């Protein structure tokens, strides 16, 4: 193994500078990946790299696999001996420093694909929104990781829509793709590709791939991953389903790969699918894959087990290592790539198995939420527990139109304030009710659940946007907001998760990533906000104080 302590010292000596070690970025041309320095095709030879369980008692909800250099050093030789060139990481803690691990991996020719979500901040398939809170989480990860040239790409979601009952969640994920691509551009970062990772559901597989691949370049994915567990035990290209999948995906105009693979119904795994994946049967269409997964956990997908902080290889590891050592996929040159012309058509949204509208929700706009909040004469009371919001929503939405705070990914209709926090949305509709009752003080009381704000006033720079949003929030807001200063006003300070009950998702039958990033309900606590964002209650107290100051 190439691992030596002197090279590690060299790495840590340079670790304070981001991207001190630079690998050529990987770029997308047509439906393949290439090294940007020389146009040689790049195949993912990947490993899913994230401990699946939270560390009990550590206070962390997940363990960032790139946050601790000793762990990265410990694992590097094992990753190298599997010929790994890509790690998939499911959840990044943006407050940690990633220089050491990223540079260590860069020096060893290893790229990283990072999911942008984390377990408690991801798009919830049962109540999907693309919210201010999630936008902040996603951009925080982009900000934290963009400087490393060995970031191969980002996943804007993992298995959010997972069958034909929740295809209406996909417009929200595609909006996340769109907004991260535009954020990267706006910030003048390197053009890091943004993609999506899907489960393998027979009813929706083709429509889902087409949906994320379709439409304007600005909206569609840069690459597409499918978590694939069809080849179990000894199988063949034809028998496994790989041949059919290859046929189904051959028209896609972006790179596609297995964002997880490795069925474990027969153990130890033989990894005979590796030879097929990197053979000419598949490489016209597929760009390799990511084996699920490094760590042995209760689900028995591990390549190694860790005990006393020592790595022990399992039979799966040895078998995979042999399989990876024998592949030699055909290598193409970017100069020979064919770039498809025209726009890939989106699947119809009126199919029994596919309802996702091609019309996407708007970009979350924290300032607009702040404008709206500051214009309200009645808001949810500061001491209302967020667990009680659901009841209040259900009561008030019987009295007034809640279209301004709702979003429907099947109809393609999105309320102007649907991306705001729960407290903001609830305040908006409580205020509509108050207005409908001619601002009678008794209409902003409801057993102490709501409170009157005297002389609300949003900055003048809010007026065009608020007027475009319309009287019930169903208008299309394009006007910019000016004059909102976050340090002195409410901008972004009322925050919190969605009002739905917290749900946990189970792994797909084949057992894909239970680690972070899978669609999970936003937390209802309102207490997990990142630095600089105060809790719901604090925000409303601040709101009242700010309004009081205006009187
Ligand atoms: C292109 O560059 C990559 C990264 O440095 C290298 O691995 C690959 O071998 C190069 N291709 C050729 C044809 O030299
Ligand atoms: C991120 O890391 C910090 C510092 O170790 C820790 O306090 C925090 O809980 C972590 N966040 C998550 C979501 O695990
Ligand atoms: C669809 O997925 C959801 C969420 O995982 C699950 O609860 C539901 O049972 C699934 N429905 C069908 C028809 O498979
Ligand atoms: C791929 O494109 C061909 C030619 O347009 C078309 O006939 C075929 O149905 C497409 N396949 C899929 C799976 O979309
Ligand atoms: C996989 O590992 C098992 C147990 O070590 C071994 O018996 C088997 O021959 C290996 N398979 C391959 C394809 O190397």
- Chain segment 312-346, per-residue pLDDT in tens: 999 999 999 999 999 999 999 999 998 888 899 99
Three-state helix/strand/coil letters over 397-452: HHHCCCCCCCEECCCCEECCCCCCCHHHHHHHHHHHHHHHCCCCHHHHCHHHCEEE
Return d(Cα 116, Cα 120) in angstroms, integer.
12
Residue 315 Cα, ligand 5 centroid: separation in angstroms?
7
Rg (CA), the chain: 25
Tell me whether the CATH fold assigned to 5-14+26-330 matches the one assigned to 366-550.
no
Return d(Cα 121, Cα 178) in angstroms, integer.
18
CB 156 within 8 A of CB 31: no
Catalytic choice (121, 133, 260, 386): 260
Ligand 2 atom closest to the Cα of residue 528 is: 13
Tell me the best of 32, 33, 37 to mutate to test the pocket of ligand 1, counting ligand atoms within 8 Å of each CB and taking the most: 37
The tokens describing 101, both together, are 């691990």
Active site residue 296: no
Provide the pLDDT confidence category of residue 399 given band limits of 50, 70 and 90: very high
Of 541, 528, 548, 418, which Cα lies nearest the Cα of 121?
Answer: 528
Q: How far apart are the first and last CA of the chain?
A: 71
- Whose Cα sits closest to atom 13 in ligand 5? 270
Residue 8 Cα, ligand 2 centroid: separation in angstroms?
26
Tokens 């290893």, located at residue: 110
Tokens 């925050």, located at residue: 495
CB 402 within 8 A of CB 426: no
Beta pairing, strands 223-228 & 256-261: parallel
Query: Which ligand has the nearest atom to the CA of 54?
Result: 2
pLDDT at 546 over 50: no
Tell me the best of 165, 208, 505 to mutate to test the pocket of ligand 3, counting ligand atoms within 8 Å of each CB and taking the most: 165
CATH class of 366-550: mainly alpha
The tokens describing 42, both together, are 């790049």
- Mean of pLDDT over the chain: 86
Contacts of 471 (CB under 8 A, 6+ apart): none
- Whose Cα sits closest to atom 14 in ligand 2? 60
Q: How distant, in Å, are the alpha carbons of 385, 423, 425, 534, 535 from that of 538?
A: 12, 11, 16, 6, 5
Query: Which ligand has the nearest atom to the CA of 335?
Result: 1
Residue 413 Cα, ligand 3 centroid: separation in angstroms?
24
User: Which is more confidently placed, 489 or 173?
Assistant: 173
Return d(Cα 405, Cα 464) in angstroms, integer.
19
In tens, the pLDDT along 431-441 reads 999 999 999 99
Ligand 3 atom closest to the Cα of residue 162 is: 2
Query: Which ligand has the nearest atom to the CA of 126?
Result: 3
Residue 234 Cα, ligand 5 centroid: separation in angstroms?
12
CB 495 within 8 A of CB 535: yes
Domain 5-14+26-330, architecture per CATH: Alpha-Beta Barrel (3.20)
Tell me the best of 274, 303, 318 to mutate to test the pocket of ligand 5, counting ligand atoms within 8 Å of each CB and taking the most: 318
Is the CB of 530 inside a 6 Å radius of any atom of ligand 2?
Answer: no
In tens, the pLDDT along 58-117 reads 667 899 999 999 999 999 999 999 999 999 999 999 999 999 999 999 999 999 999 999
Ligand 4 atom closest to the Cα of residue 210 is: 14
Active site residue 159: yes
Domain ranges, ordered by start, for the chain:
5-14+26-330, 366-550
């Amino acid at each position: 193994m190439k691992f030596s302590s002197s090279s590690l010292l060299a790495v840590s000596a340079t670790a304070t500078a981001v991207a001190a070690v630079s690998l050529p970025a990987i770029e997308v041309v047509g439906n393949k990946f290439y090294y940007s320095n020389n146009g040689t095709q790049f195949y993912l030879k990947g490993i899913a790299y994230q401990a699946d369980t939270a560390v009990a008692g550590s206070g962390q909800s997940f363990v960032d696999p790139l946050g601790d250099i000793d762990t990265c050093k410990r694992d590097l030789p094992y990753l190298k001996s599997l010929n790994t060139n890509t790690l998939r990481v499911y959840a990044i803690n943006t407050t940690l420093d990633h220089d050491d691990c990223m540079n260590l991996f860069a020096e060893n020719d290893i790229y990283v694909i990072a999911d942008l979500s984390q377990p408690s901040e991801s798009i919830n398939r049962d109540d999907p929104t693309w919210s201010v809170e999630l936008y902040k989480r996603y951009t925080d990860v982009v900000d934290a990781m963009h400087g490393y040239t060995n970031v191969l790409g980002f996943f804007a979601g993992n298995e959010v829509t997972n069958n034909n009952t929740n295809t209406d969640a996909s417009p929200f994920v595609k909006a996340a793709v769109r907004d991260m691509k535009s954020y990267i551009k706006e910030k003048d970062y390197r053009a890091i590709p943004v993609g999506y990772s899907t489960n393998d559901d027979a009813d929706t597989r083709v429509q889902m791939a087409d949906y994320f691949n379709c439409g304007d370049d600005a909206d569609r994915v840069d690459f597409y991953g499918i978590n694939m567990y069809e080849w179990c035990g000894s199988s063949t290209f034809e028998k496994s389903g790989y041949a059919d999948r290859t046929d189904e995906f051959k028209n896609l105009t972006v790179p596609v790969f297995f964002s997880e693979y490795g069925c474990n119904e027969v153990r130890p795994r033989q990894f005979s699918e590796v030879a097929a994946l990197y053979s000419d049967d598949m490489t016209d269409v597929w760009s390799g894959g990511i084996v699920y997964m490094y760590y042995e956990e209760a689900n028995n997908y591990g390549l190694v087990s860790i005990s006393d902080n020592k790595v022990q290889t399992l039979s799966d590891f040895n078998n995979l290592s042999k399989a990876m050592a024998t592949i030699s996929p055909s290598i193409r040159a970017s100069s020979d790539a064919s770039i498809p012309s025209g726009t890939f058509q989106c699947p119809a949204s009126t199919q029994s198995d596919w309802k996702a509208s091609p019309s996407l929700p708007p970009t979350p706009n924290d300032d607009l939420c702040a404008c709206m909040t500051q214009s309200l004469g009645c808001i949810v009371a500061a001491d209302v527990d967020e667990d009680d919001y659901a009841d209040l929503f259900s009561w008030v939405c019987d009295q007034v139109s809640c279209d301004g705070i709702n979003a429907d990914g099947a109809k393609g209709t999105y309320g102007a304030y649907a991306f705001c926090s729960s407290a903001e949305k609830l305040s908006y509709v409580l205020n509509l009710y108050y207005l409908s009752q001619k601002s009678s003080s008794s209409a902003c009381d409801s057993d102490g659940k709501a409170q009157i704000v005297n002389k609300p006033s949003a900055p003048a720079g809010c007026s065009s946007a608020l007027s475009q949003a319309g009287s019930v929030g169903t208008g299309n807001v394009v006007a910019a907001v000016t004059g909102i200063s976050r340090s002195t006003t409410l901008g972004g300070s009322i925050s919190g998760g969605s009002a739905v009950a917290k749900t946990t998702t189970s792994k797909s039958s084949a057992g894909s990533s239970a680690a972070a990033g899978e669609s999970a309900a936003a937390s209802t606590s309102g207490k997990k906000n990142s630095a600089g964002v105060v809790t719901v209650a604090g925000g409303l107290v601040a709101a009242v104080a700010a309004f009081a100051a205006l009187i």
